[in-house]
Amino acid sequence: MVAPRLEIDLGKIRHNARTLVERLARRGISVTAVTKATLGSHEISHAMLQGGATGLGDSRIENIEAMRRSHLSAQISLIRSPMLSQAKRVVRSADISFNTEIAVVRQLSVEAGKLGRTHAVVLMVELGDLRDGIMPDDLVATVRQTLSLPNIVLKGLGTNLACRSGTSPDDANMGELSRLAALIETTFGISIEVVSGGNSANLEWVFGSENIGRVNNLRLGESILLGREALHRHAIEGLYTDAITLVAEVIEFKFKPTQPTGERAQNALGERSDVVNRGPIAQAILAIGVQDIDLGGLQPSGGIEILGGSSDHLVVASSVGRIAVGSEMRFQLNYSALLRAMTSPFVTKAYKSAIPVSDLRRIA
């Protein structure tokens, strides 16, 4: 088979999506499945929708355009603030966009008018993680400006925590989001349809909180794809954590010393490292590198240890003896390794559905 490749089990992704959709539905929460780590994969977005996601979300307009080209008609949200220069493309391909700048919403309004369309916006609020979001004190003014624009519908409010600073969703910051939704409703006499509380980092809070307030939507990527919540990377009960596996091919195997020789400076990645001398080891090189994966985000199978790498090489040690050149090695990935591998043109995406048909019927 072609290497390197990602083996992507669509049945497992569908199962993960469905399990989360069902559990969250009991708490009144809908799921927007986030596709940004998949480069807008047609196959994966379909599996997520089959799992019951009410819509898709992606941070790049290019991915959304690719999904539209594959005739995907589901509701799609652009979950990163649109670039001003892309407003026209956003209105054309996304049903909803998440916004924090009124200048952008104004441009979306203009472009929507030209296309004879209405564009929906979710206004994002800053609640402590210090990435994107309108400061809470400015929200009323921004909503007032938004409501005055033609061709724009205010669909809801949202927030995003954990991504930049690791700020954890809790009753305080989520309660603040609910309070703001109520404030906007009473101030303007409107109803806020969607209160989008966050991402895969919100799951522990949702399932543990007595009162989730007005939150009625989450945007989930990592938990569907990798079966883990995003605060501590705990596996979520009942979900597959191995829906996606990386396979790479061995191009060299030699017994080599652990310690480099000669005077040492920076390596190809600008790092310097000290190596403990463990004597000769069984060393293999795989044909994949930091151009395709995040070395720190790979989990090898038993007896294999990742030693390092460069742009095109991954160096591992084997404690299970000799490894034949041409043989394949499998790795689990974290989110950043997945993101890199999915977006590398050098990594083939091999789709399969390994869940027996009877199980799929039960799950469906």
Ligand X SMILES: *Cc1c(COP(=O)(O)O)cnc(C)c1O
Catalytic residues: 36
CB of 310 to ligand X, least distance (A): 28
Q: Scan for tokens 């989001």, then name that residue.
A: 177
Amino acid making up residue 49? L
Tell me which stretch binds ligand X (CB under 6 A): 146-154, 178-186, 218-226, 308-316. Answer: 218-226
User: Smallest distance, Å, CB 199 to ligand X?
Assistant: 3
* Token pair in block for residue 248: 């790479």
Distances (CA, A) of 158 to 132, 140, 181: 11, 14, 9
- Give yes or no for residue 168 binding ligand X (CB under 6 A): no
The answer to whether 286 contacts ligand X (rule: CB under 6 A) is: no
From the list 36, 119, 155, 340, which residue makes contact with ligand X (rule: CB under 6 A)? 36
Which CB atom, from 49 or from 315, has the smaller least distance to ligand X?
A: 49
- Distance of alpha carbon 15 from alpha carbon 224, whole angstroms: 9
Residue 98 Cβ vs ligand X, minimum distance, rounded to whole Å: 6
* HEC secondary structure over 221-273: CHHHHHCECCCCCCECCCCCCCCEEEEEEEEEEEEECCCCCCCCCCCCCCCCC
Residue 344 in the binding site for ligand X (CB under 6 A)? no
- Are 154 and 123 in contact by the 8 Å Cβ rule? The answer is yes
CB 231 within 8 A of CB 204: yes
DSSP 114: H
Q: Name which of residues 240 to 269 contact ligand X (CB under 6 A).
A: none
Task: Give me the 15-34 binding string for ligand X, x by CB under 6 A, dash otherwise.
Answer: -------------------x
State the Cα–Cα distance between residues 335 and 326, nearest whole angstrom.
Answer: 27
Binding status of residue 169 toward ligand X by CB under 6 A: no
The window from 70-78, 99-107, 199-207, 356-364 that contacts ligand X (CB under 6 A) reads 199-207
Which of 30, 42, 54, 59 is the binder for ligand X (CB under 6 A)? 59
Q: Which residue is nearest to ligand X, using beta carbons? A: 221
Contact status, residue 180 vs residue 196, Cβ threshold 8 Å: no
Length of the chain: 364
Q: Cβ(55)–Cβ(76) under 8 Å?
A: yes
Contacts with ligand X by CB under 6 A: the residue count is: 14
Of 75-104, binders to ligand X (CB under 6 A) are 79
- Least Å distance, CB 357 to ligand X, is 29
Peptide bond just before 4 cis, omega within 30 deg = yes
Rg (CA), the chain: 23
Nearest CB to ligand X, comparing residues 188 and 207: 207
Maximum CA extent, the chain: 74
**293 in contact with ligand X (CB under 6 A):** no
Among 23, 219, 228, 340, binds ligand X (CB under 6 A): 219
- The yes or no reply on residue 342 touching ligand X (CB under 6 A) is no
- Using CB under 6 A as the binding rule, whether residue 109 contacts ligand X is answered as no
Scanning 61-69, 143-151, 216-224, 247-255 for contacts with ligand X by CB under 6 A, the matching segment is 216-224
Site of interaction with ligand X (CB under 6 A) = 34, 36, 59, 79, 160, 199-201, 219-223, 230
